[in-house]
Chains A and B, each alone.
Chain A
């Protein structure tokens, strides 16, 4: 490939047809590559004392590694975890870990030092070849394919070929269908997402201990984390809680703006809103009592509780759904009904009909 040198610097040219250089400028007069600079010997190459020192260092590091390995095993036994004692976990982790690190770093630094100080550092050139196969190889491959095509009739027998392609298009179908039962077959998400445990006369209880909340106990400016009464008896406790979690707040009547049809949804300034963000479903857990703003800690959507939990900032689009509440005969807060819309993140069929009804 001596003729290659005539081409532009930094170009690899195939012997047959030179590859296009595109818009690259191929200079007419080139500064010549000066060739390899003279090799500079290292101190360990010329000074036998330094060489011996480097050798001792490498050996020393390998011995440190052995000591580290043995110590790691010893520490594992010497510093066991004492049940109930957190500090023993820390001692075990620290001693075994540090000893292991010494064991590994001893080998690592030792070997690299060996390579850098003692093993030859003379750089050697090796020829590159164009990645593409040699012309005779490429010709032979083309021959093989032609022969395979002739022997099989893949190009000639188009009916066979096309029907095969058709069969291959359809064959993954069962594979797709088989995944349907990843989730229960007798349910479907659109209706599940529309129902929570809230219903008429279900008491609002505190999360997580389940004590019911008396309206009289809810003072202005307070916020309660609420779950429906009896939720802990449910088999799918977490799934129900992920939909039914509610925040309860009391706001002074003069600060509370309510749409007319929702006037009966609150009780004496006490409002209950879904705690599940309408963005992607994080719990909207941060209540700022002065401004009546709820903040989602995940993506910082802000909702104004005094104004229908409307979105006032952040990526969410919809207000938090409101849970209609009232009090029962004993003065405990109860739900008037379920939510009037699906809670949590938006989904495609959100506004459609319940699939089950």
Chain B
């Protein structure tokens, strides 16, 4: 800070430098501060603390791959022509010379074969998009399994969910732009699904495609969505996501010295900033490395879109797989006619399943908060084992998603493992129902088993593997006690007990209370109590 005797206009708030470079940076900092009062911002954020754990990196991967998507995508827009005007391909790829293709396909081919670095940038863009969506998925799983969605972060969970949906939409719209055979069939499927919507479906499809499928409007329209509307919403939601991250401060795992009232870690300047910036370049570098070595979306193998041909083994990009799989698993003959109108339950049922599944994901924080009734803020991330029911629900959800996803490759599974396609589909239909149930039970038992083991270790120490023969001839294994820091990690977690149904002020037991009590029992009946101080003391006593 300046002293009161110095006029701030000449010195500014920053320290008085001696060296030339420092004098320049100080002058520059003062120049900006005098026009933006940015110093307050840096004071607030400069030494803000970020806790460290490998799993906190997943969200960072998503953020950085998104930046790579923006950079590579901007490059591609300079060359891509979002039009379906027919033209003749005259580029480097000889097998397609003279073929009638759309301008979109033609320009995508030219980016791939006639622009230096164009293929590299297309592949960077596509690989970055795949990494973006997969890291969002893993990031969401991390948040879910550690309970980092609890108050005050429920809204940020919902924003994150929105980002996930936007990422899927961005992926699908981008995938459709080159107007190749594979993506065209994807659009044909969207057309069929939209037409299956009761009452308005036929019209929505008609308006979406600007007439009959495929029309000549869909690529330019998807282009506008892909590069303007969706990214704008995505960037806004991402900004909000990060602002809330700063406001809420990051969660941390239980550890010595860490409490719900503090956040322990390294400051943004310099440590976290250096790690994060370095990590951005690592993510970027790995994407470029993959893109220069591995082909992705070879549209020259697929050819331009034509509604008649299709190749066996078609499947969408992996992230759309769960939706395509849901369509494949619908049983035969679900379509009905009601009052002379066709209701395509073979399309509506999968759509409903997906919507309910995604809605459950979005709403989960609120459901759990309602069951526990816990209105406190939670900043200590749970170890998954310490919330066995939640972890089991998550595992069931993962299996449900995985079965739908596997179903999108049902034909490839059948041909690869020499099975019948019917057998694969029927097995997956059954697995879609019982798989999550099995996953739930197994996960819950595993969690409880791990919790029991943790108790054992906290109370009696590790099995050291050292066998000692006592003077009496008895053999015992020496247990190595934990130090207090490690013990704290094992013993520090929240415990809940099932809700007891009690009449309210009017002496009535409402249906909502009963339902909540039922859920509460389901959640917490099999709980393992954390080690208490008394137990610890008596365990120590036994050993001495």
Bitwise, A91-131 to B at CB < 8 A (1) or not (0) is: 01110111011111111111111111001111111111011
Residues of B within 8 A of A210 (CB): none
Chain B interfacial positions (CB closer than 8 Å to A): 47-49, 52, 92-94, 112-117, 119-120, 123, 152, 185, 188-189, 191-193, 195-203, 205-215, 217, 247-249, 254, 256-267, 270-271, 274-275, 277-286, 288-289, 291-293, 305-314, 324, 327-335, 337, 340-344, 346-347, 350, 372-380, 410-411, 421-422, 425, 484-485, 487-488, 491-499, 520, 524, 529-534, 536
Q: Nearest residue in A to B195 (C-beta to C-beta)?
A: A347
Q: What are 21 pairs between A and B in contact, CB < 8 Å?
A: A19-B377, A20-B373, A22-B373, A23-B499, A23-B524, A24-B376, A24-B496, A34-B256, A93-B117, A94-B293, A98-B289, A101-B286, A111-B281, A119-B274, A128-B263, A182-B207, A282-B189, A298-B314, A348-B341, A351-B337, A351-B340
Q: Is B285 a contact of A108 with CB atoms below 8 Å?
A: yes
Q: Which of A151-187 contact B (CB under 8 A)?
A: 179-180, 182-184, 187
- Select B346's contact among A125, A298, A315, beta carbons within 8 Å: A315
Residues of A within 8 A of B211 (CB): 183-184, 187, 192, 236, 239
**Bound-state Cα–Cα, A24 to B260, Å:** 15
Question: Known contacts A86-B113, A128-B261, A347-B195; is A12 also within 8 Å of B377 by CB?
Answer: yes
- Select B192's contact among A84, A120, A121, A344, beta carbons within 8 Å: A344
- Select B533's contact among A21, A30, A236, beta carbons within 8 Å: A30
Q: Nearest residue in B to A94 (C-beta to C-beta)?
A: B292
Residues of B within 8 A of A120 (CB): 266, 270-271
Of the listed stretches A3-11, A197-205, A259-267, A331-339, chain B binds A3-11
Question: Known contacts A89-B113, A282-B185, A346-B195; is A34 also within 8 Å of B266 by CB?
Answer: no
Q: Nearest residue in A to B188 (C-beta to C-beta)?
A: A281
Residues of B within 8 A of A208 (CB): 306, 308
Say whether A276 faces chain B, with CB atoms less than 8 Å apart.
Answer: yes
Q: Is A23 a contact of B373 with CB atoms below 8 Å?
A: yes
- Select B92's contact among A85, A314, A350, beta carbons within 8 Å: A85
Q: Is A108 a contact of B281 with CB atoms below 8 Å?
A: yes
Question: Known contacts A33-B256, A238-B214; is A127 also within 8 Å of B271 by CB?
Answer: no
**Bound-state Cα–Cα, A238 to B529, Å:** 67
Residues of B within 8 A of A314 (CB): 328, 332, 425
Q: Which of A175-231 contact B (CB under 8 A)?
A: 179-180, 182-184, 187-190, 192-193, 207-208, 225, 227
Can you name 18 extra interface pairs (CB under 8 A) apart from A24-B376, A302-B421?
A19-B377, A23-B372, A25-B529, A34-B256, A81-B115, A98-B289, A123-B265, A128-B261, A187-B211, A279-B347, A283-B309, A295-B421, A301-B332, A313-B421, A317-B344, A345-B195, A346-B347, A349-B342
Residues of B within 8 A of A350 (CB): 342
B176 to chain A, nearest CB (A): 15
Say whether A316 faces chain B, with CB atoms less than 8 Å apart.
Answer: yes
Residues of B within 8 A of A292 (CB): none
Q: Is A125 a contact of B263 with CB atoms below 8 Å?
A: yes
A98 to chain B, nearest CB (A): 5
Q: Nearest residue in B to A344 (C-beta to C-beta)?
A: B192
Residues of B within 8 A of A92 (CB): 116-117, 119-120
Say whether A297 faces chain B, with CB atoms less than 8 Å apart.
Answer: yes
Question: Which of A20, A81, A97, A119 has the most chain B CB atoms inside 10 A of its CB?
Answer: A97
Q: Is B346 a contact of A279 with CB atoms below 8 Å?
A: yes
**Bound-state Cα–Cα, A125 to B267, Å:** 9
A253 to chain B, nearest CB (A): 28
Residues of A within 8 A of B286 (CB): 101, 105
Q: Is B192 a contact of A125 with CB atoms below 8 Å?
A: no
Q: Is A96 a contact of B292 with CB atoms below 8 Å?
A: yes
Q: Nearest residue in B to A12 (C-beta to C-beta)?
A: B377
Q: Is B494 a contact of A101 with CB atoms below 8 Å?
A: no
Q: Is B374 a contact of A22 with CB atoms below 8 Å?
A: yes
Residues of A within 8 A of B214 (CB): 238-239, 242
Residues of B within 8 A of A283 (CB): 185, 307-310
Residues of B within 8 A of A126 (CB): 48-49, 249, 262-264
Q: Is B335 a contact of A318 with CB atoms below 8 Å?
A: yes
Question: Which of A1, A11, A106 has the most chain B CB atoms inside 10 A of its CB?
Answer: A11
- Select B376's contact among A11, A124, A193, A347, beta carbons within 8 Å: A11
- Select B271's contact among A4, A13, A115, A190, beta carbons within 8 Å: A115
Q: Is A11 a contact of B260 with CB atoms below 8 Å?
A: yes
Say whether A83 faces chain B, with CB atoms less than 8 Å apart.
Answer: yes
Number of interface residues of A (CB under 8 A): 123
- Select A19's contact among B262, B375, B492, beta carbons within 8 Å: B375
Say whether A300 faces chain B, with CB atoms less than 8 Å apart.
Answer: yes
Residues of A within 8 A of B332 (CB): 301, 311-317
Residues of B within 8 A of A318 (CB): 335
Bitwise, A310-327 to B at CB < 8 A (1) or not (0) is: 011111111000000000
Bitwise, A263-284 to B at CB < 8 A (1) or not (0) is: 0000000000001110111110
Question: Which of B200, B214, B292, B536 has the most chain A CB atoms inside 10 A of its CB?
Answer: B292
Q: Is B259 a contact of A9 with CB atoms below 8 Å?
A: yes
Q: Which 4 A-B pairs have the closest CB atoms?
A: A97-B292, A280-B192, A22-B373, A111-B278
Q: Is B494 a contact of A111 with CB atoms below 8 Å?
A: no
Question: Known contacts A31-B491, A189-B206; is A345 also within 8 Å of B264 by CB?
Answer: no
Q: Which of A26-47 contact B (CB under 8 A)?
A: 27, 29-37
Residues of B within 8 A of A277 (CB): 192
Say whether A352 faces chain B, with CB atoms less than 8 Å apart.
Answer: yes
Q: Nearest residue in A to B349 (C-beta to C-beta)?
A: A315
B310 to chain A, nearest CB (A): 5
A314 to chain B, nearest CB (A): 6
Q: Nearest residue in B to A68 (C-beta to C-beta)?
A: B285
Residues of B within 8 A of A15 (CB): none
Q: Nearest residue in A to B209 (C-beta to C-beta)?
A: A183
**Bound-state Cα–Cα, A22 to B377, Å:** 12
Say whether A248 faces chain B, with CB atoms less than 8 Å apart.
Answer: no
- Select B212's contact among A102, A114, A192, beta carbons within 8 Å: A192
- Select B274's contact among A96, A109, A114, beta carbons within 8 Å: A114
**Bound-state Cα–Cα, A256 to B267, Å:** 78
Residues of B within 8 A of A115 (CB): 270-271, 274-275, 278
Residues of B within 8 A of A122 (CB): 266
**Bound-state Cα–Cα, A256 to B257, Å:** 80
Q: Nearest residue in A to B312 (C-beta to C-beta)?
A: A297
**Bound-state Cα–Cα, A350 to B340, Å:** 9
